[in-house]
Amino acid sequence: MALKVVEEWFNACAGCEVSILNIGENLVDLLSELEFVHMPFLIDHKYYGQTGEGTQVEIPEADVAIVSGGVRTEEQKEILQKIREKCKTLVALGTCAINGGIPAMANMWKREEILNAIYSSLPSEVPAWLDRVYAIDEIAKVDIYIPGCPPHPQNINEAINALLKGETWSLPERSVCDTCPTRREKKASSGTTKRFFENLTFSPEESLDTMRCVMEQGFICLGPVTRAGCRGDSDAPRCIRARVGCRGCFGPIRKGAKPMVDMMSAWSSIGLSPQGVPDRRALLNRFIGAHNNLRPLPKR
């Protein structure tokens, strides 16, 4: 019997859904074992009945719910709670669902400040906003986390196959640095922190293991505090393959970690000054603004 699946997206860009499609040929085999009963991305299933006759959100019962995106509105909160009620297993897909992602950078401002900046008068059609962007595990219990912006298709494939076998799935608690092949000397080449628009020193003709560690070259790289898993079967993490520092999109290595504090320590350990990093609060919490990691600061 096929696994019944609910797929939903909230405050996100649909990159997670594209990653599902990027599973590629293996997705053809998976589809014969999955029955999607609710998926706004593909299926015209209305929340309040097909003709709008309902008075409460209707979500079909399912074995698994896969949810991408953080929770910004009262409507999204209600739909998520109904999904949790109707589905046996809840999967958080992508960094927005797990840590708020880029949309949760809005948590640096009060809701009223954002709305007043966008609208001269608030239209009645705009769904009521919550006070901030929430990760979905702040609203409902999550069983499986598949991080990434976007998640790696291989991880999605492995997680779905585990569910088909009645098993759970998770990434190991390792850092991006643990999977990075670049050469390290455990000290920075200078005490100056460089910006992203400057170029790394490397030879494009040579392999990655001959290139010096990005952070030791003085560039911001969040590899020490970011969970590994973006490289799949390749030889290096995705950003490193592109010869840039890790942006941190897979989120903290473990639940409850504070990357901003840990990153300060990593910089200091090789002789870089954290004071030289502009806008540290936004930069180091860029993908993890939920869970109160980003909030409005008191006015001075």
> Is there a single domain that holds both residue 138 and residue 182?
no
In a domain, 129, yes or no: yes
In this prediction, the residues of the chain whose per-residue pLDDT falls under 70 are none
Bond from prior residue into 150 cis (ω within 30 degrees of 0): yes
- Domain final position from 110, 134, 165: 165
Q: What is the CATH number of the domain that holds 145?
A: 3.40.50.700
> Is there a single domain that holds both residue 63 and residue 35?
yes
In a domain, 298, yes or no: no
> Is there a single domain that holds both residue 158 and residue 13?
yes
> Is there a single domain that holds both residue 13 and residue 156?
yes
**Total of domains in the chain:** 2
- Domain final position from 114, 134, 165: 165
pTM over 0.95: no
In a domain, 160, yes or no: yes
Nearest CA to 132 among 299, 295, 298? 295
pLDDT in the model for residue 192: 77
Q: How much of the chain, in percent, has pLDDT values that exceed 90?
A: 72
In a domain, 299, yes or no: no
> Is there a single domain that holds both residue 160 and residue 57?
yes
pLDDT in the model for residue 23: 95
> Is there a single domain that holds both residue 151 and residue 184?
no
Domain containing residue 234:
174-293
What type of residue is 136? I
pLDDT in the model for residue 69: 98
Cβ–Cβ < 8 Å for 167, 34? no
- Domain final position from 134, 165, 196: 165
In a domain, 147, yes or no: yes
> Is there a single domain that holds both residue 161 and residue 199?
no
Q: DSSP for the chain, please give it.
A: -PEEEEEEE-BS-SHHHHHHHTTTHHHHHHHTTEEEEE-TTT----TT-TTS--SS-----EEEEEEESBEEEHHHHHHHHHHHHHEEEEEEESHHHHH-TGGGGGGGS-HHHHHHHH-SS--TTSPPEEEEEE-GGGTS--SEEE-BTTBPHHHHHHHHHHHHTT------S-BGGGG---B--SS-SSSPPBPTTSPPP--TTS-GGGSB-TTTTTB---GGGBB--SSTTSSS-HHHHTTS----TT-BSSTT--HHHHHHHHHHHTT--GGGSTTHHHHHTTT--TTTTS-PPPP-
> Is there a single domain that holds both residue 132 and residue 226?
no
Cα 140 to Cα 122, 143, 234, distances in angstroms: 29, 10, 34
> Is there a single domain that holds both residue 9 and residue 65?
yes
> Is there a single domain that holds both residue 155 and residue 220?
no
> Is there a single domain that holds both residue 182 and residue 281?
yes
> Is there a single domain that holds both residue 184 and residue 99?
no
∠210-211-215 over CA atoms, to 5°? 145
In a domain, 56, yes or no: yes
In a domain, 55, yes or no: yes
Structure tokens of 158?
């492995």
In a domain, 89, yes or no: yes
